[in-house]
Structure 1
Amino acid sequence: MTASPNPPPATARTPRLWWLSLSTLGIVLAAHLGSSLLWRGRLPDPVATHWGATGVADGTGGLTTHVLVGAFTLVLLGILMPAAARSLAGPAGRSGVPLMAGLGNCLVVGIGGMFLSGLVGQLDKPAALGTRMESTVLVAGIVLGVLWGIGSALLVRAALPPRAPAEGDASPGPASAVHAFAPGTVIASTVRGPAWMLALMPVLAVGMAVLGFTAGRESPVAFWSMVPGIAIVLGAGATCLAGKVVADDAGIRVHGGGFLKMLHVKPADIEQAEAREITPAEFGGWGLRVSGAGVAFIMGAGPGVIVQRPRGGARIYSVATMADAEAMAGLLNSLAAGRRQAGSST
Structure 2
Amino acid sequence: MSKRILVLPGDGIGPEITAEAVKVLDALVGEGLDVELDEGLIGGAAYDAAETPLPSATLDMAREADAILLGAVGGPKWEPLDISVRPEKGLLGLRAELGLFSNLRPAILYPQLADASSLRAEIVAGLDIMIVRELTGGIYFGQPRGIRTLENGERQGFNTLVYAEHEIERIVRSACDIAMKRGKRLCSVDKANVLECTELWREVAERVVKNEYPEIELSHMYVDNAAMQLVKWPKQFDVMVTTNMFGDILSDAAAMLTGSIGMLPSASLNEKGQGMYEPIHGSAPDIAGKGVANPLATILSVAMMLRYSLGESAMAERIEKAVEQVLDQGLRTPDIMSEGMTEVNCEGMGDAVVAAL
TM-score (normalised: structure 1): 0.23
Q: Which has the higher contact order (CA 8 A, sep 6+)?
A: 2
Structure 1 or 2, whichever has the larger Rg, is 1
